[in-house]
A and B are shown apart, each in its own frame.
Chain A
């Protein structure tokens, strides 16, 4: 199976079983948060995508559409992208994005992938996304008692902090 065939199979899976209509060209497909865990499970158990590649959370502050003033203001939200890979050729990477509202928590992938433990902790630490069912959601990079999530857009890079002891 080549990389292209694997990608087509992945797209077909998304369209048939997870109701994804739009496959953007320059972005990864957007999947509903309710299907997040199930998609990962199907990929791991039925298609053999067992390597846990990455999880990336980004913060999108509320921003009016500059071009269209009458359009709805997109509320502040997070976007979490996850990627899993299959072993051996063609080492295809299946990745998708999930939109998470500020007060919403995304189900953790820890029962499927042990690597989700630390990776999700890091995204919680730096961006602030919460993961439901995570065994040990606490800060990883920053000190335990740090306040604020550094990689959010409203966290200035020069934010003053007391010297860490």
Chain B
């Protein structure tokens, strides 16, 4: 299992992620973002959307991935919590994303995420796996 933790940024929120492989990195990054929006234990993995993205390198790919999931939340109010990867490399991600529609009458929320920023964005491959840092505009 990968993991994520938050770090401080004056007006916004940073997420530090690690995973032993790309799947853990991508999943933990997404969970880090959605946990900023709402407590995830309230959602069931009952609705699915397929996401297919290509990029020139792993930094661009992870950034596009978070941007895409954030867009799906912003327009369709889907909160994702489980991910099945059909294909995943440093240049391609093809995943089925499972989650539930956010209902303000039923679900508790934390805060709105305005955007995934490039500020301090980094992805690193180390001996024990992958690490990334992302700052979200709140």
Do A and B pair up? The answer is no
